[in-house]
Amino acid sequence: MASTTTTQRNVVFVDGVRTPFGKAGPKGIYAETRADDLVVKTIRELLRRNPQLDPARIDEVAVAATTQTGDQGLTIGRTAAILAGLPETVPGFAIDRMCAGAMTAVTTTASGIGFGQYDVVIAGGVEHMGRHPMGQGADPNPRFLADKLVDPSALVMGNTAENLHDRFPGITKARTDAYAVASQNKFDAAKKAGYIAETLVPVATRSATGWGLATEDEPPRPGTTLEDLAKLKTPFRPAGRITAGNAAGLNDGATACLLAGEDTARELGLQIGMRMVGFAFQGVDPAVMGIGPVPATEKVLARTGLTIDDIGLFEINEAFAVQVLAFLEHFGIDDDDPRVNQWGGAIACGHPLASSGVRLMTQLSRQFARHPEVRYGLTTMCIGLGMGGTVIWENPNFEGDK
């Protein structure tokens, strides 16, 4: 029998886009917009921005959604590919790892590129939480609680964040509120500098008042103060620490990115935004879901032979401020370290669950272009039901060895 050998290839992040993020609910900008149409918009924008790519060269479309029903169901990677006008030869699939859905769409298809089975893929995610609240229609097995497999609080993300506060008593509500204010301020500064607009594709919207055009995120609250946040209720626990001000909201939105083998990117004249170095996912106690990024990061650092000091830029998903601060405290990083979330984060712009991983990657890639002195960066996030995911990336613009 003949044998074959496969040489591992470099995987590169070519380009990423997202829709503006909206507030979930009947008054949100996407209340009358379908989830699959949001995905279509991002796919078409990637093709518009990269006209040298023949759509027939796309080997896979992987789209994540946490609540895979209605207009987020029916193997959305394939249906969105058809709706976006890709050739019928382009396959697609759906994927779910809750908040890390888009991140997993990237790592899964990147593995196929690295193994030589794909050349170019589209990976992303969508969440229309207004139409499909997290967990809608789900039926958790009663044994989770009856057999005491998880603490009852594990099934409510806000409660897991309160539990994380209990594990890190030094992370006070005042500290999380201060972090939240900084996130709002950094996002507002990045928006005014034009950095956020570079990542967005405008979306036509429809409502009872007529047609509109979404060109910017709906959730940000520029000018938020500590005094404003101190007045908010703590819905998950009496006299608790989690509020709507120091956590991401309920949001609608979609993301998508182009990945390719580095050799293919050079052949086709595609830009190389960053190279994938390694990734890891790790499970943790579901009752403290937010600690997941810590062991996931330790795992990928060990695999790649890097240390936390090698990381020059961090994009950490802000599901809750306490989750970010627990990560920073564990690794001995200051709350206001300039390497962390330079453009703010989900507390400001929103967190449409399965879409957020590619938002982090898109921002990191663009930050790399502005920071040739930085070689490595990472994207990391906590994941519902007790997991964390981290991807380490290398800056192709790094000038440190020149």
DSSP string, 315-352: EE--SBHHHHHHHHHHTT--TT-TTB-TT--HHHH---
pLDDT 10s digits, 172-230? 999 999 999 999 999 999 999 999 999 999 999 987 778 999 999 999 999 999 999 99
Catalytic residue flag (residue 257): no
Catalytic-role residue among 99, 132, 165, 371? 99
* Pairing state between β 92-95 and 58-64: parallel
Q: Check if the beta carbon of residue 221 is closer than 8 Å to that of residue 348.
A: yes
Residue whose token pair is 């580095």: 262
Cα(180)–Cα(97) distance, integer angstroms: 26
Q: Which residue ranges of the chain lie beneath pLDDT 70?
A: 1-7, 401-402
Residue 381, beta-bridge partner list: 389
Query: Is 99 annotated in the active site?
Result: yes
Q: How many residues does the chain have?
A: 402
Domains of the chain from N-terminus onward: 9-129+248-273 (3.40.47.10), 150-193+276-392 (3.40.47.10)
Identified catalytic residue from 132, 165, 351, 371: 351
| pTM (two decimals) | 0.96
**387 with 287: CB under 8 angstroms?**
no
Measure CA 353 to chain center.
7
Secondary structure letter of residue 60 according to DSSP: E
- How far is Cα 277 from Cα 139, in angstroms, rounded to an integer? 38
**86-115 tens-digit pLDDT:** 999 999 999 999 999 999 999 999 999 999
Q: What does the radius of gyration of the chain's CA atoms come to, in whole angstroms? A: 20
* 349 in catalytic set: no
Reported in sequence order, the residue ranges of 67-119 that DSSP labels E, i.e. its strands, are 92-95
User: What are the structure tokens assigned to 377, written together?
Assistant: 């960066």
